[in-house]
Amino acid sequence: MKLLSTVFSLLALTLFAKGEPLAVGAAAPDVTAPDQNGQNVVFKDVFAKGATLVYFYPKADTPGCTKQACSLRDDWAGLQAKGIQVLGVSGDKPDAQKKFEEKYKLPFTLIADSEGKVAAAFGVPFFGGISKRMSFLVKGGKVVWSMPSASTAEHAKDVLKAFDALPK
């Protein structure tokens, strides 16, 4: 039943949810949301520390979302070498995010966006507690790259390639 509900939500998300994702050059949104530990994360404070990947995924511990998170985990050293911070965002509650983090030993922050406020700030479609899979790279307070249909198993490679292509 849970799978059927997730499939329906994803279908509705693609068919009915409208939204204009932030464009490259747009100011990064000033939004706050809880992480997997229930602690509020102030995005502008994170962005002030350096380049940040904000990636949205539909649901913690589902096949595609797990591949995406594990891609970032598995290339964590490469991301860190470039100074890229990571915020993974889904509509899950903090406890589900915590279980996801622990099960897959994820080294980055997971944001619990159960009300869709972070998704709305980035213009990411959000329906029935599920956001569309999208990614944004923020640097210098601006969106410098976005991927409207973020990859799963190759996500870290895509992010690193995009980062390397940015003007220095």
Average pLDDT estimate for 146-154:
87
Catalytic position from the list 65, 106, 143, 156 = 65
Strand segments (E) across the chain: 32-34, 40-42, 52-56, 85-90, 109-112, 126-127, 130-131, 134-139, 142-147
Domain ranges of the chain: 2-165
Q: Across the chain, what does the average pLDDT equal?
A: 90
Classify burial at 23, counting beta carbons within 10 Å of its beta carbon; exposed 0-12, middle 13-18, buried 19 or more.
exposed
149: pLDDT confidence band, cut at 50, 70 and 90? confident
151: pLDDT confidence band, cut at 50, 70 and 90? confident
- What pLDDT, on a 0 to 100 scale, did the predictor assign at position 165? 94
70 catalytically annotated: no
- What pLDDT, on a 0 to 100 scale, did the predictor assign at position 1? 53
Does 3.40.30.10 match the CATH number of domain 2-165? yes
